[in-house]
Amino acid sequence: MRYHTGMPSFDVTSAVDLQEVDNAVNQARKEVSQRYDFKGSKAAIDFDRAAGTLTLTADDEFKLQALWEVVETRMVRRKVPLKNLKRGEIERGANDTVRRVITLQQGIPTEAAREIVKFIKDRKLKKIQPAIQGDQLRISSPSRDELQSVMALLRAEDFGVELQFGNYRE
């Protein structure tokens, strides 16, 4: 149960729909299996739902990039925010392969949350109260118009993750 201040508020979150990621990965695997340029190659896409990671494996960096482009296209089509896919470094794998781990960013990272709070405070908006609550933010204000303007300001900025607005309360 949450304490309710009686003031209008909304939450700012950042989440990736894991079912959509799963769907995109399955579609990407199917496309890769049918593509001529991947015939006989060691291209693989592994999705670890629990760890929130994708691991792409390919014969070389060129194929790895092509594999990423397939995954990226499928993610976009399934409306998975690409900003929340954090690509790691390319590593050498077994059997002369290369691999890259992509981490799914769930929630707003602490650094980005602080940046958002600072961004709001720097705008000198009266009566706006941003509060970091774990991996999300709660923005409250007695003025609904002020809340709307904060949403518009946040939508226009890039904080490195896809922002979603929800849980609007009167």
Q: Which residues does 22 contact at the CB level (< 8 Å), separation at least 6? A: 47, 49
Question: What's the confidence (pLDDT) of residue 127?
Answer: 87
Q: What is the DSSP letter of 83?
A: G
pLDDT at 1 over 50: no
Is the predicted pLDDT of residue 13 greater than 60, yes or no?
Answer: yes
Token digits of residue 133: 């609550």
Residue with more model confidence, 5 or 114: 114
Query: Mean pLDDT of all residues in the chain?
Result: 91
pLDDT value at position 100? 96
CA distance 45 to 57: 7
Domains 9-15+108-169 and 18-104 share a fold: yes
Q: What pLDDT shows up at residue 146?
A: 87
Q: Which CATH architecture has domain 9-15+108-169?
A: 2-Layer Sandwich (3.30)
Gyration radius from the chain CA atoms? 20
> Taking the CB of residue 170, how many other CB atoms lie within 10 A of it?
7
Q: What is the pTM of this model?
A: 0.82
How far apart CA 77 and CA 71 sit, in angstroms, is: 10
pLDDT digits (tens, 9 = 90+) for 61-99: 999 999 999 999 999 999 999 999 999 999 997 788 999
User: What pLDDT does 45 receive?
Assistant: 95
Domain ranges of the chain: 9-15+108-169, 18-104
- Residue from 104, 149, 139, 170 nearest 10 by CA: 139
The predicted pLDDT at position 68 comes to 97
| CATH superfamily entry for domain 18-104 | YajQ-like, domain 2 (3.30.70.990)
